[in-house]
Amino acid sequence: MDANILVVDDEQRMRKLIKDFLKQKNFNILEAEDGEQALKLFNENKSRIQVILLDVMMPKLDGWSVLRQIRQSDKNVPVIMLTARAEEQDELFGFELGVDEYITKPFSPKILVARVEAILKRANPERKEIKDHGGIKIDDDARTVTVDGKNVDLSFREYELLKYLVDNENIALSRDKILNTVWNYDYYGDSRTIDSHIKKIRHKLGKKGKYIQTIRGIGYKFEVK
Specify the higher pLDDT residue, 145 or 122: 145
Tell me if domain 4-123 and domain 132-222 are identical in fold: no
Q: How far is CA 152 from CA 2, 109, 142, 204, 222, in A?
A: 36, 50, 13, 7, 17
65: left (phi over 0), alpha (psi -120 to 50) or beta: alpha
CATH 3.30.390.50 holds for 132-222: no
pLDDT value, residue 176? 87
Instruction: Give me the half-sphere count of Cα atoms (radius 13 Å) on the Cβ side of residue 187.
Output: 17
For the chain, give the percent of residues with pLDDT over 70.
Answer: 92
When pLDDT is averaged across residues 212-222 and rounded to a whole number, the result is: 95
pLDDT for position 126: 67
Is pLDDT at 186 greater than 60 in this prediction?
no
pLDDT score, position 122:
81
7-21, 23-37, 114-128: segment of lowest average pLDDT: 114-128
Residue ranges of the domains in the chain? 4-123, 132-222
What is the overall mean pLDDT for the chain? Answer: 89
> Is the pTM for the entire model greater than 0.75?
no
> What average pLDDT does this structure show over 76-84?
89
Q: Which CATH superfamily is domain 4-123 in?
A: Response regulator (3.40.50.2300)
Tens of pLDDT, residue by residue over 22-68, are 999 999 999 999 999 999 999 999 888 999 999 998 988 999 999 99
